[in-house]
Amino acid sequence: MKAIEFADVSFRYEEGGPLAVSHLNLSVEEGEFVAVLGHNGSGKSTLARLSNGLLTPDAGSVRVFGQTVNEKNLFDVRSQVGVVFQNPDNQTVATIVEDDVAFGAENVGLAREEIGKRIDFALRAVGMEEYRHATVARLSGGQKQRIAIAGVLALMPKVVILDESTAMLDPRGRREIVDVVTRLNKERGITVILITHFMEEALLADRAIVMNRGELVMEGAPADIFERREELVTYNLALPHIGIICEKLRAGGMDVAYTLDAAVLAKEIAKCVS
Amino acid sequence: MKDVSFGQFYPVDSFVHRLDPRLKILFLIAYIVAIFLASNFYGLAACAAVLVLIVIFARIPFGKVLRAIRGVTFLVLFTAVLNVLFYSGETVYWEWGIFCISFEGIIFSLFLALRLVLLVVCSSMLTYTTTPVSLTDGVESLLTPLKWIRIPVHEIALIMSIALRFIPILMDETSRIKNAQMARGADFESRGLGKKIKATIPILVPLLLSAFRRADELGDAMDARCYTGGKHRTKYKKLRFTWRDAVAFLLGAALIAGVVVMKIYLPAPY
């Protein structure tokens, strides 16, 4: 089943302004892990906001599990499609972890016992059980962002969209988030849309999409996308670090095969040196 | 800047922490009434004794209590000095124009200073032992009758809790902006009121802008988590009266009764 479907969607933020998203056609299957790449202003965040009805398209339609998003089913759509944003400080409502995770579940009017179960589930899913009674402000960036994911998971969504949720984190925090998201996708079958400008993160996805000026310009398996180096550069995107190292080595006259896997590259280098 | 303890929850598990927030709010009100009812040192001593009990049972370190007092030192000293100078008592030690220092004046200002300190410590005990969420839950619950006259009680409570949550974040941001402006040559050291006011502009403008941006993002994040106001909302934490609350209630009632009795039967020595 198609989790999210964009049919010829266009959107602009202000009358007469440029199209933030233009004639976008895109569908994401249930259970898929999709990475959305793009430079600043490419329309990738707009894509996230259109997916859960925070924005309404000017033309075309957005369907979530077959249901066209409109004013009446916003509630339903938002509990199926959770969005985690960039700044962890600006998306926690409460001071204590469990109160914040409970926020969404309280909003949809669940019973007390059920909310308790949801908190257990959500915190376990992001590996933060022991922080249930902690103060959010005292956590690290990666932990705060895991709490934000838990807050979304408490609504039991089928799709989780991360809108540059790793952009403000240090490398360790980024790894935590990517690990959590990968596990959610593999173990619980939650559809994940990871919007990022870190190329490394895209490698873990089933499919990668590149956006440029509101248009979908590249689509395919991440490894294939990164093969098309010249094209990526025209969209202001760089290769993952491993790819850059490969290129430099080859430019320097070392005969290594082009790869995006650190282990493979290490073997290649060993072959050349011996 | 970072060490702002106002409104900061101190996370330990204690008798006082577990009390119902509604009871704590009502207790604070009762306590304030008791402080102002007390007309002699016996009454205040009783209030102070109760407060010491509360601090012990709340397991709040003594340093935290001192910090709360430190915040109002200036106010307390200022009012005390003014009171000493302007109170016209009978046993006068020193006189100059409209100023006079008398025995009664000293006693009176000491009395007032003590009242202020007790008031501040007791109020900060409320915020030390109550999370902003349960504090606002308490306020919301206590204000429920106002819903009948269409006052948006839930929204007010939510605004309150979000404001409390963002205090430390905005404090951090203020010092960051201040440093950034200093790095660009802004002058915050100059004396003189005019210059001082002028110096706050390069801090206030970016701070306000950022606060609006944060509010916008928070609004989106709340929308994304299905927030639509208080209508269909349920509460995870239910407020419940327990035996602890009964004990605290009795203590509060006893304090007021005690202060009133002392007011009537123990004539003030001063």
- Percent pLDDT > 90 in chain A is 61
In angstroms, the separation between the Cα of residue B28 and the nearest Cα of chain A is 22
pLDDT at B230: 74
pLDDT band at residue B2 using 50, 70 and 90 as cut-offs: very low
Within-domain flag for B123: yes
- Structure ipTM: 0.86
Query: Domains of chain A (ranges plus CATH)?
Result: 2-222 (3.40.50.300)
Residue type, B25: I
Cβ(A123)–Cβ(A131) below 8 Å = yes
- Residues A252, A256, A259: CA angle, nearest 5 degrees: 115
Structure tokens at B245: 């609350």
pLDDT at B4: 42
pLDDT at B270: 54
In angstroms, the separation between the Cα of residue B202 and the nearest Cα of chain A is 23
B96-153 residue pLDDT tens: 777 888 888 888 888 889 999 999 999 989 988 988 778 888 888 898 888 888 888 8
Within-domain flag for B6: yes
Q: In which domain, by residue range, is B27 found?
A: 1-130+240-270
Q: Residues of A at the B interface (Cβ-Cβ below 8 Å)? A: 49, 52, 54, 75, 78-79, 82-83, 85-87, 89-96, 98-99, 102-112, 115-116, 119, 133-135, 137, 148, 151-152, 155
Within-domain flag for B64: yes
Q: Spell out which residues of chain B touch residue A88, defining contact as CB-CB under 8 Å.
A: none
Pairing of strands A207-212, A33-38: parallel
Mean pLDDT, chain A, as a whole number? 91
pLDDT band at residue B268 using 50, 70 and 90 as cut-offs: low
Give the total number of structural domains in chain B. 1
pLDDT at B1: 32
pLDDT at B6: 45
pTM over 0.80: no
